[in-house]
């Protein structure tokens, strides 16, 4: 998932783990209290996300989409205009944005591109700017950064009565953190120019995440990890809004083997990312740890390959028409 946690809200059903907070120490002397569980900060999320990327094919999956589908999508943008306007919402550190911009440049040689970015995390904005500084092939592309959440950007646009339209808007792995998903989609769809396109990349309903959230929600801690949503939730919103769309499914995997290796630092970071919890393995009640690790091994969530446990991280690329 892209590292763009927008806001902190607890949307989880209340879960009662109090009975499991007290645990017997190894020496059987007296009961001790397990340290309290808490959500990841924005900085901790960045670290956990990096561990996820290092062990998953998330970006390779997006590269396949860029290769197979994006040239055709980009070719249909702009409607012959001399300038194409692009908006990235929750763009993170910008790697995927720049790949798409290069495809757009190739599809429309000589056309100017105005690229605006909405990203709340200052670390990500700084990293994105550094990427741009190191990219000599992006002449003809202008960049404007808005260090805001999507809801803050929407509020600013409405308050200032800004009526700028975009030919291409993308929201990559960021809707999990949005306060009001239907209205957010409706707003950004309204920002599309004639024949513009909105790209939403979200976890597929065929992913292990979907099974984990649907069948094993009780295994997840009551921390602030965001919405449990997959592609089906998004397409249901689009149908209610009467908006046309196409869905492209792409396979992706995440090697979570180290999650089951006691004391492994990478495994600890992966579990933090999975649960949205800081030091989950060190602070979760033992019974909760066991339940979640057992759930992760279920065939609905993962498969075994060459002795490794590969979590299903399939993605849906939803292309929305203006």
6 assigned binding-site residue: no
Residue 16 is predicted with a pLDDT of 31
Task: Count the Cβ atoms, other than its own, within 10 Å of residue 203.
Answer: 26
Who contacts 163 (Cβ-Cβ below 8 Å, separation ≥6)? none
Residue 4 placed within a domain: no
Residue 270 DSSP code: H
Q: State yes or no: pLDDT of 91 exceeds 90.
A: yes
Residue 273 placed within a domain: yes
58 assigned binding-site residue: yes
Residue 10 placed within a domain: no
User: Global pTM?
Assistant: 0.84
Residue 93 placed within a domain: yes
CATH classification of the domain holding 310: 3.40.50.150
> Tens digits of per-residue pLDDT, 22-37?
333 444 444 444 458 8
Q: How many domains does the chain have?
A: 1
Residue 8 placed within a domain: no
> Tens digits of per-residue pLDDT, 64-79?
999 999 999 999 998 8
Residue 81 placed within a domain: yes
| Nearest CA among 120, 97, 98, 118 for reference residue 43 | 120
Torsion, Cα of 101, 150, 252, 246 (10° steps): -80
Residue 13 placed within a domain: no
Residue 24 placed within a domain: no
282 is in which domain, residue-wise? Answer: 39-321
Q: State yes or no: pLDDT of 88 exceeds 90.
A: yes
């Amino acid at each position: 998932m892209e590292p763009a946690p927008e806001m902190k809200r607890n949307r989880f059903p209340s879960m009662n783990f109090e009975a499991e907070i007290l645990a017997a120490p190894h020496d059987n002397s007296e009961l001790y209290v397990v340290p309290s569980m808490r959500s990841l900060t924005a900085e901790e999320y960045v670290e956990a996300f990096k561990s996820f990327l290092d062990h998953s094919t998330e970006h390779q999956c997006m590269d396949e989409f860029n290769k197979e589908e994006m040239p055709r999508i980009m070719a249909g943008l702009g409607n012959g205009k001399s300038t194409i306007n692009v908006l990235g919402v929750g763009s993170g550190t910008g790697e995927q944005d720049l790949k798409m911009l290069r495809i757009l440049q190739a599809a429309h040689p000589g056309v100017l591109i105005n690229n605006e970015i909405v990203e709340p995390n200052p670390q990500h904005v700084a990293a994105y700017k550094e990427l741009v500084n190191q990219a000599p092939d992006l002449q003809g592309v202008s960049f404007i950064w808005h260090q805001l959440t999507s809801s803050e950007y929407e509020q600013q646009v409405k308050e200032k009565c800004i009526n700028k339209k975009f030919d291409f808007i993308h929201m990559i792995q960021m809707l999990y953190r949005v306060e009001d998903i239907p209205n957010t989609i409706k707003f950004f769809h309204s920002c599309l120019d004639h024949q513009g396109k909105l790209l939403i990349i979200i976890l597929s309903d065929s992913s292990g995440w979907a099974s984990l959230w649907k069948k094993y929600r009780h295994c997840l801690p009551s921390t602030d990890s965001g919405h449990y949503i997959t592609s089906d939730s998004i397409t249901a919103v689009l149908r209610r809004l009467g908006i046309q769309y196409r869905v492209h499914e792409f396979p992706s995997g995440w090697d979570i083997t180290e999650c089951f290796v006691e004391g492994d630092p990478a495994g600890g970071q992966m579990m933090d990312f999975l649960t949205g919890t800081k030091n989950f393995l060190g602070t979760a009640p033992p019974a909760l740890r066991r339940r979640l690790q057992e759930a992760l091994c279920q065939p609905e969530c993962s498969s075994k390959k060459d002795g490794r446990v590969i979590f299903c991280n399939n993605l849906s690329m939803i292309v929305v028409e203006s």
